[in-house]
Each structure stands twice: as structure tokens, then as C-alpha cells.
Structure 1
Amino acid sequence: MLKIEKYGAVDIGSNAIRLLVMSVIEQEGKDTLFKKTSLVRVPIRLGAEVFLDGKISENSANRMVDAMTAFKLLMKTHNITRFRACATSAMREASNGRQVAEAIEKKSGLSINIIDGNDEAAIIASTDLKNLIQDDKVFLYVDVGGGSTELTVFANGKNVASKSFKLGTVRLLEDRVDESIWGEMELWIKKELKDYKHVSMIGSGGNINSIFKKSGKKLGKPLSYLYLSSYYELMKSLSYEERITELDMNPDRADVVIPATRIYLSAMKWSKAKNVYVPKIGLSDGIVKSLYNEKIAAELEVNS
């Protein structure tokens, strides 16, 4: 007997807003299945203005209201039973972030949780990585967003360290990253991995997913450092327009993909990882997993 519910998760990032609809399939005596039903992405680049002006513009706020209203209707048609929206770097740094969140809730009926970097890292780390995280291996998990990069070290099948850095693609494009941040991230990676050998990397985020898709690799197979660095040099040799026409990139991906790849390559270099695995997971997947874990915990409490 299967019990199937649909969950909704909204990730309000610095580069885009995403709605993930996930089918949660419970089967007696077996592991629960999480199957992606729909993913809608709206490229509202909040970080471009927040990292420059410190606030969300009226135009962007109105676009967010429209997007969240549309998401609400989509979730209604999908019969969503559980939902959560989380906002990251751009909204938490905007001087009017909370006011915009309140306005969105008033007009769309959907509340937004503005989370800090540590919460973001923890939610991402809660994603289902059991097919990759093996007890006898060490992984550096790198999630690159528009405003920040979340790092997590997995060793012996467990999360042993995590940290968020204000190093993101939109922030880099707008020249809003102090050079010292790169140094801080390098020191953290080397410190947390100094006792481990043979580290592999796990990369998540829209940019690494895009590169992986274009590589033609089968899901579960990693990208090598050599491949990623070669592709990085190819992208840098092309203009923004050429990346759209010759590499078939979306206009809102063709600029941020270069700083994103620089971050992944830097993390690989500092961790001495020769390969990066690219599962299709991110913050929205973590939100769904968190909602499910909360549901299970509540049921256990009721039955205890």
C-alpha cells in the first residue's frame, strides 16, 4: 500500500526563484521515495540590486508578488499538502527584505522564511545523498548560489563540518566580494580536510547542473577537474552572446556560469579533489526533506 503526498518548496535565491513540487511516496517496510514532479524557475535577479543598493526595488518586489501568486495557484492545482518557502542571501541582506516578505504574504498568502547562511547549509546538507556518501570516503559538498557558497564536509558517512561564505555568482559579477573571502574559504577547506586523503567533491547549484548536462555524462558519473577547467577556459574565450548562441545557454545563465565555475574549481584545487559528482539536489530538495522529517517526528510524538 502506497501513501502519496505532494510537497512544495520555494527557494528564493539571489539569481532566481524556484518552485519544486515533489511527490513523497511512503511504502510499508521500505524507504520513502522522493520523486520530482515539477520545477519552475523565474530569473528574478535580486542580488544584482541588493548587493549594489542594499535593498529590493519596487519593480522586483512586484515581480516577486506575481511569481509567488503564480506559485500558489500551481501548488493548488498540484494538491500540495505541505509547503515552505525559504529566502537566502539577497533577501536577508536587503534592508527592506522583511517588509517585502510581509507584502508578499499579504498579497499572495504565502509566508517566507528568511534563513541565515548556517541554516541554509544545514538544510542543503539534509538532502538525500545516501547514494553518494559512503562510509569509507570523504566528500566536500559545495553548493554555489548567487549570493553565497555553502560548504559541508562528509566523512565516515556523517556531516562533520559546514560553513557559509559570502561568495556567490551575482555578488562576483557585481564586484561585491572582498578578496579576503577567497582566502577565508581556502583556509577553511584546508583546515577541515587536513586529516583526510582522497577527497571527492559534490557540486550542487544550477550552474554545475547545466555544465553536467552539456557534458553528456550519465547521472552518477563525475566530472574531472581537467574537464571542468577545460570547459571553463572555453567559456571564458567566448563572449556573453557567443555563450548563448554557441553553447546554447539561457541568457540568465550565460554570465553567472563563469564565476560559478571559478568557485567550483577553486574548491577542487584546495581540497585536492580530482572529481566532482553532480546529483540534482539543492536547497529546495532539502526543504522537502526537512518538511518530511518534521512530519515523521510529529507522528512519533503523537504515537509515543
Structure 2
Amino acid sequence: MLKIKKYGAIDIGSNAVRLLVANVIEEKNKEPQFKKSSLVRVPIRLGADAFVSGKISEANTQRMLDAMQAFKLIMKIHGVERYKACATSAMREAENGEEVAATILKNTDVKIDIIDGKKEAAIISSTDLNQLIESDATYLYVDVGGGSTEFTLFSKGKIINSKSFKIGTVRVLNNTKPENKALFKKVQKWIEENTSDYKRISLIGSGGNINKLFKMSGRDSGKPISYIYLNAQYQFLKKMSYQERISELSLNPDRADVIIPATKIYLSAMKWSGARKIYVPKIGLSDGIIKSLYFNKL
């Protein structure tokens, strides 16, 4: 007997807000299958508020209210039975983050959980990541967001260490060069200290920017991108203007600027860990929310 359940996940990031609707297919004596049904992404750059002025603006609060109302209607149309909304570093660091969450709850009945970096990494790691990890290999998992980046070292199928750093694409764009240099130094130290005892490390990358870079590469699903290719792409993108990235590469306006610092973060992680290739499975916080909801971990 086949059963299909519908779950929703709202990921409130620093660069964009996403709604994922997924079908969970249950069949007797089989593992449940998780299939994406709908993904809606809206470019509300909360990080531009939180990391510059320290608070979410009235304009973006209203946009958030509109987005949550729209998401509720979309989930109603899909017949979603359970959903969860999680906010990351922008809402976490904004001095009025809790206030904005309370306003949204009052006006839309959508409850937003503002989660810390450790919880974010734990939710993401509950995805299908384990299916990608070879039992005898070592991987550095890197999830680049708008406000923070989560690093997790896996070896022989087990988590060795995990750390969240306040280095994200929107934050890098808005910080001064000395601030960014200091942040990159902290990340370098952590990666080098934690990977020094391991050989032949590969990266696993997640986030909208690495997904876009993978798509641009034309690689088959499951095939890695090399350090050499990613570095060449980085140099190519840097030479183009913001307008050229939009008109010639068809990048969304809110992707065309952040893709540069995102690529730099992935390249830096590869350099400091000695990784020569990066795998790009399509997983992220919203996928983790769906699985955590289904297994009652949230």
C-alpha cells in the first residue's frame, strides 16, 4: 500500500527566503522516499539589513509578511500537512529579529524558529549526506550561506568536528577588507588544524551558489568539480562586471554579486584542506527540515 505525505520547509536565509514542498512516499518494507514537489525562492536580502544596520528594516519586514502569507497559500494548495520555518544568521543577529518573528506570527500564524549555527549544521547533516559519503574516505562539508558558513569534517562515515563561522556571501560583500581578512584567517586556522592528519580529502559543497556553479559546469549529476576548473571559473567571473554576469550568464540580480565571495570561500576551503575536487549534491537546510519533520526531530 502506497502512502504519500506532503511536508513544507521554509528556509529564511540572509540572501533569500525559500519554500520547499516535498512528497514523502511510504511503501511497506521500504525506506521512505523524499521527492521535491515545489521550490519557491524570493530574494529578500535580510543580511543587507542585519549585517550593516543591525536590524531588519520596515520594508523587508513587510516583504517577509507578504512572503509568509504567499507561502501559506501555496502550502494550502499543495495540501501540506506539516511544515516548519527556520531562520538563520540574519534574523539571529538582527537586534529586532525576535520582534520581527513575533510580528509575523501575529499576522500570518507562521511561527519562525531562529536557530544557531550548530543547529543549522545538525539539520543539514540529517539530509541524504550519509548516502554520498564513502565509508573509508574523508570529506570536508561546506555549506555557504549569506551570513555564515558551516564546516563539518567527516572521516570513515563519522563526524569528526563541526564549526560555524560568521563568514557568508552577503556579510563579505558588506564588510571591509580587514574584517574579511581576519575572518578568513580564523577559518584557515580551523580547517588546517582539523584536516592536517588526513590525506586525500574531498569537499562536499552545498548552497545556491555552488549549485549554480555546478550547473554552469555542465557536469553530470554525481560528478565532482575540480579545483582547477573552479579557480578558472572564479577568475572568469571576477573579470566580468555585475551587469555582464546578469546579461551574459543569465544570473539573477541577487546571485550575480554573491557568487564571487561564495566561490572564494569554496576555493579557500579546498586550498587549506588540500582537496582537489568538490562534490555538489542538491541538499540544503530546507531538505534537512523536511527529513527532520518526518522523523520527528524538530
Fold equivalence (TM over 0.5):
yes
Tell me the percent identity.
Answer: 62
Normalised by the length of structure 2, the TM-score is: 0.97
CA distance in structure 2 between the partners assigned to 1:159 and 1:289 by the alignment: 19
Match of 2:240 in 1: 238
Q: Equivalent residues in 2 for 1:156-167 (5 A)? A: 156-167=156-167
* Cα deviation 1:202-222 (Å, max 9, x = unaligned): 000000000111111111000
* Cα deviation 1:114-162 (Å, max 9, x = unaligned): 0011111111111112331110111100000000000111111122211
Q: Equivalent residues in 2 for 1:116-135 (5 A)? A: 116-135=116-135
CA distance in structure 1 between the partners assigned to 2:82 and 2:200 by the alignment: 40
Match of 1:172 in 2: 172
* Cα deviation 1:149-189 (Å, max 9, x = unaligned): 00111111122211100000000111164422211111111
CA distance in structure 2 between the partners assigned to 1:3 and 1:197 by the alignment: 45
Normalised by the length of structure 1, the TM-score is: 0.95
Letter in 1 for 2:159: N
Q: Equivalent residues in 2 for 1:131-150 (5 A)? A: 131-150=131-150
Q: Equivalent residues in 2 for 1:245-264 (5 A)? A: 245-264=247-266
Match of 1:105 in 2: 105
Contact 2:47 2:146 in 1 (8 A): yes
CA distance in structure 1 between the partners assigned to 2:217 and 2:28 by the alignment: 38
* Cα deviation 1:223-277 (Å, max 9, x = unaligned): 0001100000000000000111111111110000000000000000011111100
Cα offset, 1:292, TM superposition: 1.4
Partner secondary structure for residue 131 of structure 1 = helix
Match of 2:199 in 1: 197
Matched, 1:46 2:20: no
CA distance in structure 1 between the partners assigned to 2:2 and 2:269 by the alignment: 42
Partner secondary structure for residue 10 of structure 2 = strand
Letter in 1 for 2:129: L
Give structure 1 regions of 4+ aligned residues with deviation exceeding 6 angstroms.
none
Greater displacement, 126-135 / 160-169? 126-135
CA distance in structure 1 between the partners assigned to 2:221 and 2:130 by the alignment: 15
Letter in 2 for 1:7: Y
Q: How many pairs does the alignment contain?
A: 296
Match of 2:215 in 1: 213
Structure 2: segments with no counterpart, 5+ residues: none
CA distance in structure 1 between the partners assigned to 2:137 and 2:104 by the alignment: 44
Contact 2:222 2:280 in 1 (8 A): yes
- 2:275 pairs with one of 262, 273, 276: 273
Matched, 1:229 2:231: yes
User: CA RMSD, aligned part only?
Assistant: 1.2
CA distance in structure 2 between the partners assigned to 1:178 and 1:254 by the alignment: 20
Letter in 2 for 1:132: L
Contact 2:21 2:38 in 1 (8 A): yes
Partner secondary structure for residue 292 of structure 2 = helix
Structure 1: segments with no counterpart, 5+ residues: 298-304
CA distance in structure 1 between the partners assigned to 2:208 and 2:139 by the alignment: 20
Q: Equivalent residues in 2 for 1:179-190 (5 A)? A: 179-190=181-192
Contact 2:172 2:180 in 1 (8 A): no
CA distance in structure 1 between the partners assigned to 2:246 and 2:182 by the alignment: 32
